[in-house]
Amino acid sequence: MKLKLGILGGTFNPVHLGHLILAEEIREKLGLDKVVFVPAYLPPHKNNSEIAPALDRYNMVRLAICGNRHFSVSDIEIKRKGRSYTIDTIRRFKKIYPKDELYFITGSDLLKYLKDWKDLKEIIKMVRFIVATRPGYPLKKIPDYIQTIPIRAVDISAFQIRQAIKKNKSFRYLVPGPVFNYINKHNLYR
């Protein structure tokens, strides 16, 4: 049986409720069988000075999705090390799931980097490209190969969470409870 598999890449620095809501709404609206979260080892478009270690981000995602049978996490980019390019991840997923339909999911905030993506033409031949609309990132000039899916307006960002932690402010209800505990136990983002 052919699966409909969503691939949600990101830094997840840290994973938060907005990521989970995005994944669940896209899964439901597109009838996906599974959404695989793929934490980047080193994202090519970000300053890496404030990024928690890859293994910590992977563990936080694992804790965040525990209990949702439609979600899983892959360490494919972490094992590969180096800069994480979408094309490399998609090629790997195509080898693992050659008969399945792949949906690459991203937030509208990443569209501004689209022209800089490595091998974008090849990516769009291999997957259905899904962009979830996010508050504060209006969609303009959407290429025709992108399918947009509006999702619930949840204005949470990992940057805001990291800032709250640095300033010793509460971030308790912005991340799942186990992620909150993990961040505190491992003294991340301080």
Reply yes or no on whether the pLDDT at 172 is more than 80.
yes
Which structural domain range is residue 21 located in? 4-185
CATH code for position 94: 3.40.50.620
Q: 102 in a domain, yes or no? A: yes
Q: How many folded domains does the chain comprise?
A: 1
Structure confidence at residue 142 (pLDDT): 81
Give 107 or 36, the one with higher predicted confidence.
36
Structure confidence at residue 83 (pLDDT): 83
Is the model's pTM score more than 0.75? yes
Q: What is the DSSP annotation of 146-176? A: EEEEE-------HHHHHHHHHTT---GGGS-
Reply yes or no on whether the pLDDT at 152 is more than 90.
no
Distance CA 146, CA 38 (A): 20
Q: 179 in a domain, yes or no? A: yes
Q: 26 in a domain, yes or no? A: yes
Q: 67 in a domain, yes or no? A: yes
Q: 99 in a domain, yes or no? A: yes
Q: 45 in a domain, yes or no? A: yes
Q: 18 in a domain, yes or no? A: yes
Angle formed at CA 158 by CA 50 and CA 14, multiple of 5 degrees: 75
Q: 190 in a domain, yes or no? A: no
